């Protein structure tokens, strides 16, 4: 079991490949569909995700794994093929979102705790039987006046570690996702300080829960200023500060770091990843685990119309290829423009 965990974790961060986060909850994907004028029915959700998983070039060349929602893990394509099988046929690993979302943390206004540990061991066994080989749990840390508190950081880090231990016991690679949000008007230095605290506490708790670092993948935020900050940061500054905090906090035994995009634009997320990889000399692989930054373009191109499937797949392939180049330190704005044309 240990060997399988380590092997799958390595596959998830393979050179030039990244993870597609297609695990939007029913409520979240409804918002995405509302924006493109598509009704969020089970059939439409299946059709959209099926077109992604049937994007042969993107899936085979640029995607190492796909994070699914419970509904999607159980769905079949229009021809009766399980969606999990489409992912496996492309050479990627199926994964599953297992947390129950962030809920208000008692006596901590503005802060949350991610729930979902109750009954998780049983659900993980079922998910593995359904084909999942890795899982994801997202902890949310907000920055505002007086927060985050130490209590909120510790509670979320402990929940992440307990989830990760349960995953490994079930033969499932845990993606550990402590996300410091980029909402608000905080500076990049404030984001750095909070991210450092969160990462150090997370690995402290992982150690206490005896989580095998070689059999996990870290999915952190990048160090960026808040979206409402008056002073924004250059690509170079984001790359330097993100790599610095990771070197200070993440043990070399972790096989790879798959960044979340966290609300950045498509091209920002790509440029930041590329700049970090170009710095070189890192003990772990760097790659992407993007949702919106991979899907916004294909969703808009598709707009719920069968005749737009090919255009949507082309848009998905383009974004996946650009991020694949970034994960190898080979991306450039000129390439982005040329490929898009």
Contact 131, 84 (CB under 8 A): yes
Predicted local confidence at residue 334, as pLDDT: 87
- The tens-digit pLDDT sequence of the chain (341 residues) is 799 999 999 999 999 999 999 999 999 999 999 999 999 999 999 999 999 999 999 999 999 999 999 999 999 999 999 999 999 999 999 999 999 999 999 999 999 999 999 999 999 999 999 999 999 999 999 999 999 999 999 999 999 999 999 999 999 999 999 999 999 999 999 999 999 999 999 999 999 999 999 999 999 999 999 999 999 999 999 999 999 999 999 999 999 999 999 889 999 999 999 999 999 999 999 999 999 999 999 999 999 999 999 999 999 999 999 999 999 999 998 888 876 55
**Structure tokens given for 183:** 């909402």
Predicted local confidence at residue 186, as pLDDT: 97
Q: What is the DSSP string of 256-289?
A: EEEE--TT--HHHHHHHHHHHHHH---SSEEEEE
Instruction: Kindly report the CATH number assigned to the domain that includes residue 109.
Output: 3.20.20.70
Predicted local confidence at residue 263, as pLDDT: 87
Q: How do the residues of the chain divide into helix, strand and coil, expressed in percent and rounded to 5?
A: 50, 15, 35
Predicted local confidence at residue 154, as pLDDT: 98
The count of structural domains within the chain is 1
Q: Spell out the alpha helix ranges (H) of 170-263.
A: 188-208, 235-249
**Structure tokens given for 8:** 């799958």
Predicted local confidence at residue 187, as pLDDT: 98
Parallel/antiparallel/unpaired status of strands 18-22 and 285-290: parallel
Predicted local confidence at residue 71, as pLDDT: 97
Domain that holds residue 95: 2-340
Say which DSSP state 117 is in: -
Residues classed as catalytic: 177, 219
Parallel/antiparallel/unpaired status of strands 18-22 and 63-68: parallel
């Amino acid at each position: 079991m240990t060997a399988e965990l380590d092997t799958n974790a390595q596959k998830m961060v393979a050179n030039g490949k990244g993870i597609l986060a297609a695990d939007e909850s029913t409520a979240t994907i409804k918002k995405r569909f509302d924006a493109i004028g598509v009704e969020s029915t089970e059939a439409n959700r299946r059709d959209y995700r099926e077109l992604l998983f049937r994007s042969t070039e993107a899936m085979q060349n640029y995607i190492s794994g796909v994070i699914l929602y419970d509904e999607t893990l159980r769905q079949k394509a229009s021809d009766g093929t399980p969606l999990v099988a489409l992912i496996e046929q492309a050479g990627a690993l199926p994964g599953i979102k297992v947390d129950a979302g962030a809920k208000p943390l008692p006596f901590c206004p503005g802060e949350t705790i991610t729930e979902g540990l109750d009954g998780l061991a049983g659900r993980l066994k079922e998910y593995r039987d359904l084909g999942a080989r890795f899982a994801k749990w997202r902890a949310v840390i907000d920055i505002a006046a007086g927060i985050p508190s130490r209590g909120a950081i510790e509670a979320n880090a402990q929940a992440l570690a307990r989830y990760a231990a349960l995953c490994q016991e079930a033969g499932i690679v845990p993606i550990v996702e402590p996300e410091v949000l980029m909402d608000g008007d905080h500076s990049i230095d404030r984001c750095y300080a909070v991210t450092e605290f969160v990462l150090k506490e997370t690995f402290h708790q992982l150690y206490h829960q005896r989580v095998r670092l070689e059999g996990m993948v870290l999915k952190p935020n990048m160090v960026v200023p808040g979206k409402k900050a008056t002073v924004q940061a250059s690509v170079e500054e984001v790359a330097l500060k993100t790599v610095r905090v990771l070197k200070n906090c993440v043990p070399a035994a972790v096989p790879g770091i798959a960044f979340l995009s966290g609300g950045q634009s498509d091209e920002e997320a790509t440029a930041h990843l590329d700049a970090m990889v170009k710095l070189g000399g890192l003990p772990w692989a760097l790659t992407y685990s993007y949702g919106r930054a991979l899907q916004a373009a294909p969703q808009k191109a598709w707009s719920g119309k069968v005749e737009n499937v090919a255009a949507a797949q082309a848009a998905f392939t383009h974004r996946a290829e650009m991020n694949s180049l970034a994960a190898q330190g080979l991306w450039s704005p000129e390439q982005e423009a040329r490929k898009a044309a």
